[in-house]
A and B are shown apart, each in its own frame.
Chain A
Amino acid sequence: MATATAQPDERLATTGPVARLLKRPEIGALIAALVVFLFFALTTETFATPAGASTWLQTSSTIGIMAVAVALLMIGGEFDLSAGVMTGFTGLTVGVLTTHWGLNIWVAIVVALVLALAVGALNGFMVMKTGLPSFIVTLGTFFVLQGIDLALVKLIIGQVAIQGMSNVPFYAQPQKIFGSTFSVGGATIHVSVLWWIAVTIIASWVLMRTRAGNWIFAVGGAQSASRQVGVPVFRTKIGLFMTTAFAGWLVGMLVLFRTSTVQSNTGIGQEFIYIICAVVGGCLLTGGYGSAIGAALGALIYGMVNQGIPYSGWDSNWLKAVLGVMLLGACLINNWVRKRAENAR
């Protein structure tokens, strides 16, 4: 707290640039990401090569897109457990519509987007109208979608995975947008990495620079208070659920056009990874605090650990255990840095 007597209001007190930087939610994740990177770069030969980097960037990118959207929703005070299975749902929708019913591929992509947004809106509507926790509502959606992905798909195409996607007319067009690769300095970069960066920048801009961003922080921090000062709580929350649904659609397309197939079990269990990445990136489980770039960094940590373990030659049976320890470690660093920063105010 400033000692200067000339300060009229302590809220206007200036802080040094270092302290200001340390107060950002994502700073812990940034440090953790550097530690993880240095660790694997120093202990394995391949990790820091262009070819190695392209593999962990690819893993991070699809997780990262979802983590950023989930982070926005968490800042707004809600969860979406249907986010993981949504990626499979949209991919399967496009696959079934095109390979089985011969629908134009672009139309199918739009239909999948509309369906995804409708499910997102329904999630938000039910949470707001029923007053049930979003944890419960989206858990329900999660199971419904999981069932549809298996039962309905099997019923329609008689299989549990999309076959022959690459023979669909005009496949090459969306494949360029969602599934292509390009070369940078000897590394083959998947286009999903660009999507990831774009989504992170847009989400950061919305959060930090727009009125909608203020609304998101407000509804997550104090819902009834923000309603009283005129924040459109209903619209904001529904918009947030639709945002995660949109991200689920985007990742569904990225997976479908990278691998030219999607299975009925795609995305199941991933929703927890997104939440973990958002938390590692500085989001509070209670809402009202967090950042988009932090979630992107959380996904980067996840991707690096996920690929770093095979590069280290460790027994893959330990992967989940190591992952858990490293993620907890990242959270602890995160907390520690934030506390120090807040004390240093």
Chain B
Amino acid sequence: MNRFRLFGVVAAATLALTACSGTGQDDDGASGNKGDFTYAVITHSSAGDAFWDRVKSGTEQAGDDYGVTVQYDSDPDPAGQSQKIDGAVADKVDGIVVSMANPDGLETSIKAAVAAGIPVVTINSGVDRFQEFGAITHVGQSETIAGQAVGQRLKDEGLSNVVCVIQEAGNVGLEERCKAVGETLGGKVENLQVDGTDDAAVQASITSKLQADSSIDGVLTLGGQYAIDAVGAVEQAGSAAKVATFDLSEDVITNVQDGKILFAVDQQPYVQGYLGVTTLYLKDLNGNDVGGGQPVNSGPAFVTQENADDVLEFAKNGTR
């Protein structure tokens, strides 16, 4: 008896499935319906990254504001990320926002999305290649421009021997930043690879680096949370090195107020997420080309002791 009932369920399910796979291809149901759009946001972030959580908040806020559906997903492995883009194309979304940390790895998938008539916007990294792949625009902070600005600022502060802390192996953008810092600093910039998933280890690595070379007068971190590790490391090592960082958090701003961190570069991740979705929305709704084929800058904005109080308020909301 049981077995027959099971058979019935399976048979019914199979029938329903056939019906289902038939309707899936009919239409995308979105075009023409004002505001009824679905966008896939696919970044190269690892799960639980504070910076990318702000990007995600930006995309979700834009989705709420415009009344569109936003699906956020991420994979640090370019092969995995490109598979998610393929998935979004198969899902016939109305637009894709993608961060291109490794353009070569995403080339095929992004071109396939463009070929399928799906508008693509790149955010964060990928400014050099977005046009080539057919993306409508890029929203982000040029790693080179930001890195050079930081190098200049560090030089103005009188620093000449800086450790550049890289928290993510395989991220081309981070390497570019450190390189650009060296171009304007005019001194020595040495990269230090750390395990970004383990803050205690990050702090220990920086500490030993400072202990090993007492002539180091600056530590530059490339993510907000690592600046806190660096501040701890400087104290632990009894070093006089100054700390500067890319990206913000509440703690970073408090440390800037206290003078423990020289400055923080804000590339405004919330803006990247929000504008990424906005660009697609305006394209679908109104045929607009935000940026007119040129990249749109989301930063850099410097947070120093002077303006830290204002920024802190927003950082508490998780939007800066």
**In this assembly, does A45 line the interface, its C-beta being within 8 Å of a C-beta of chain B?**
yes
**In the complex the two chains form, what is the Cα distance from A170 to B102 in whole Å?**
23
Across the interface, do B83 and A58 meet the contact criterion of CB distance under 8 Å?
A: yes
Across the interface, do B20 and A45 meet the contact criterion of CB distance under 8 Å?
A: yes
Across the interface, do A260 and B104 meet the contact criterion of CB distance under 8 Å?
A: yes
Across the interface, do B108 and A258 meet the contact criterion of CB distance under 8 Å?
A: yes
**In this assembly, does B320 line the interface, its C-beta being within 8 Å of a C-beta of chain A?**
no
**In the complex the two chains form, what is the Cα distance from A48 to B84 in whole Å?**
16
Across the interface, do A160 and B171 meet the contact criterion of CB distance under 8 Å?
A: yes
- Residue of chain A at shortest CB distance from B29: A45
**In the complex the two chains form, what is the Cα distance from A261 to B105 in whole Å?**
5
A258 touching B88 in the complex, CB below 8 Å, given contacts A162-B104, A313-B69: no
**In this assembly, does B169 line the interface, its C-beta being within 8 Å of a C-beta of chain A?**
yes
**In this assembly, does A259 line the interface, its C-beta being within 8 Å of a C-beta of chain B?**
yes
**In the complex the two chains form, what is the Cα distance from A316 to B168 in whole Å?**
21
Closest Cβ–Cβ distance, residue A248 to chain B (whole Å): 14
**In this assembly, does A138 line the interface, its C-beta being within 8 Å of a C-beta of chain B?**
no
**In this assembly, does B23 line the interface, its C-beta being within 8 Å of a C-beta of chain A?**
yes
Across the interface, do B71 and A310 meet the contact criterion of CB distance under 8 Å?
A: yes
Across the interface, do A51 and B105 meet the contact criterion of CB distance under 8 Å?
A: no
Q: Among residues 11 to 44 in chain B, which have CB atoms less than 8 Å away from a CB atom of chain A?
A: 13-14, 16-17, 20-21, 23-25, 40
**In the complex the two chains form, what is the Cα distance from A320 to B21 in whole Å?**
27
**In this assembly, does B261 line the interface, its C-beta being within 8 Å of a C-beta of chain A?**
no
Across the interface, do B87 and A166 meet the contact criterion of CB distance under 8 Å?
A: no
**In the complex the two chains form, what is the Cα distance from A159 to B174 in whole Å?**
11
**In this assembly, does B200 line the interface, its C-beta being within 8 Å of a C-beta of chain A?**
no
> Which residues of B have CB within 8 Å of A266?
77, 79, 170
> Which residues of A have CB within 8 Å of B107?
259-260
> Which residues of A have CB within 8 Å of B25?
49
A317 touching B104 in the complex, CB below 8 Å, given contacts A41-B17, A160-B171: no
**In the complex the two chains form, what is the Cα distance from A259 to B170 in whole Å?**
15
Q: Among residues 307 to 323 in chain A, which have CB atoms less than 8 Å away from a CB atom of chain B?
A: 307, 310-311, 313, 315-317, 319-320
Across the interface, do A42 and B13 meet the contact criterion of CB distance under 8 Å?
A: yes
Q: For B20, give its contact among A41, A165, A255 (CB under 8 Å).
A: A41
**In this assembly, does A223 line the interface, its C-beta being within 8 Å of a C-beta of chain B?**
no
> Which residues of B have CB within 8 Å of A49?
21, 24-25, 90
Across the interface, do B79 and A48 meet the contact criterion of CB distance under 8 Å?
A: no
**In the complex the two chains form, what is the Cα distance from A317 to B71 in whole Å?**
11
Across the interface, do A55 and B17 meet the contact criterion of CB distance under 8 Å?
A: no
Across the interface, do B90 and A55 meet the contact criterion of CB distance under 8 Å?
A: yes
**In the complex the two chains form, what is the Cα distance from A317 to B73 in whole Å?**
8
- Chain A interface mostly: helix
Across the interface, do A159 and B172 meet the contact criterion of CB distance under 8 Å?
A: yes
Contact flags (1/0) for B67-93 with A, using CB distance below 8 Å?
A: 001011110111110111011111110
Across the interface, do A161 and B90 meet the contact criterion of CB distance under 8 Å?
A: no
**In the complex the two chains form, what is the Cα distance from A310 to B70 in whole Å?**
11
> Which residues of A have CB within 8 Å of B47?
316-317, 319-320
**In this assembly, does A263 line the interface, its C-beta being within 8 Å of a C-beta of chain B?**
yes
Q: Among residues 203 to 253 in chain A, which have CB atoms less than 8 Å away from a CB atom of chain B?
A: none
Across the interface, do A52 and B24 meet the contact criterion of CB distance under 8 Å?
A: yes
> Which residues of B have CB within 8 Å of A54?
86, 90
> Which residues of B have CB within 8 Å of A42?
13, 16-17, 20
Q: Among residues 91 to 108 in chain B, which have CB atoms less than 8 Å away from a CB atom of chain A?
A: 91-92, 102, 104-108
**In this assembly, does B190 line the interface, its C-beta being within 8 Å of a C-beta of chain A?**
no
**In the complex the two chains form, what is the Cα distance from A261 to B172 in whole Å?**
12
**In this assembly, does B193 line the interface, its C-beta being within 8 Å of a C-beta of chain A?**
yes
> Which residues of B have CB within 8 Å of A46?
24, 87, 90-92
Q: For A259, give its contact among B21, B78, B90, B193 (CB under 8 Å).
A: B78
Closest Cβ–Cβ distance, residue B39 to chain A (whole Å): 12
- Residue of chain B at shortest CB distance from A55: B87
Q: Among residues 163 to 177 in chain B, which have CB atoms less than 8 Å away from a CB atom of chain A?
A: 168-172, 175
Task: Give the 4 A-B residue pairs with the shortest CB-CB distance, closest first.
Answer: A51-B90, A263-B170, A261-B104, A265-B170
A-B contact pairs, 6 of them (CB 8 A): A55-B83, A160-B169, A259-B82, A259-B107, A263-B170, A316-B74
